Amino acid sequence: MSPSAPVLGLPRWPVEPEPVDPTGASYLVLCLGRDPRAADVAAEWAAEAERIAPTRLLSVDGIDRDRPKVDVALHAARTGVRVLVAGEQYDVLLTLALAREYGAAPTELQCFVVDAVPGHTTGHTTGLPVYCAHCRWTYRMVGAPCGETTCPGCDRHLEIHPHHSALRGSFLASDARARELA
């Protein structure tokens, strides 16, 4: 497959941050992690959003550590809000999934990731939320869709399927060596 061919069912990342959707009645800008590019994008979004409607900018270290803070912000949000998320893929995918859990629709969400290579949907290695089918659990693993990695839970060598769940935020993975005879 050519690197630029879009793959159905995989996240497609904007190359440049999209402008803020002007139809919101309020904005929640979430900046995950300490990457300076993410902080810049979040700050630009927040400035743009403030000119339209009441805006809250929340910067946290990461979704695993600061999930309660993001929970509180989403819980307080009212229908009519637009949620904008910037950070690394791992944090952004899990934060988008959390926002969906709170009822946000796809068109109410915008995001920007700092660790995607434009045009590459597979083959680019980075930290990703990966669901290990054998542990039945999601971990942060370094890899790429269609690539391989090691599960921190069961220590199995996993293949990461090009199969992504927006609801979970994670990629599916399973034992890459299970079909090999000893």
Residues of this chain that interact with another protein (CB under 8 A) are: 7-9, 23-26, 53, 74-75, 77-82, 102-108, 131, 133-134, 136, 156, 161-168, 170, 172, 174-175, 178-182
Contact yes or no for 132/176 (Cβ under 8 A): no
In this complex, which beta carbon is closest to another protein, that of residue 127 or of residue 137? 137
**Shortest gap between Cβ of 116 and another protein (angstroms)?**
19
Q: How far is the CB of 99 from another protein (least distance, A)?
A: 8
How far apart, in Å, are the Cα atoms of 57 and each of 16, 45, 121, 146, 176? 20, 9, 29, 35, 41
Q: How far is the CB of 36 from another protein (least distance, A)?
A: 29
CB of 11: closest distance to another protein in angstroms? Answer: 11
How far apart (Å, rounded) are the C-alpha atoms in residues 133 and 76? 34
Cβ distance to another protein smaller for residue 117 or 166: 166
Dihedral (CA of 152, 149, 124, 15) sign: negative
Please identify, using beta-carbon distances, which residue of 7 and 117 lies nearer to another protein.
7
Burial class (CB in 10 A: 0-12, 13-18, 19+), 52: middle
Name which of 82 and 114 has its Cβ closer to another protein. Answer: 82
Q: Which residues contact 22 (CB under 8 A, 6 or more apart)?
A: 52
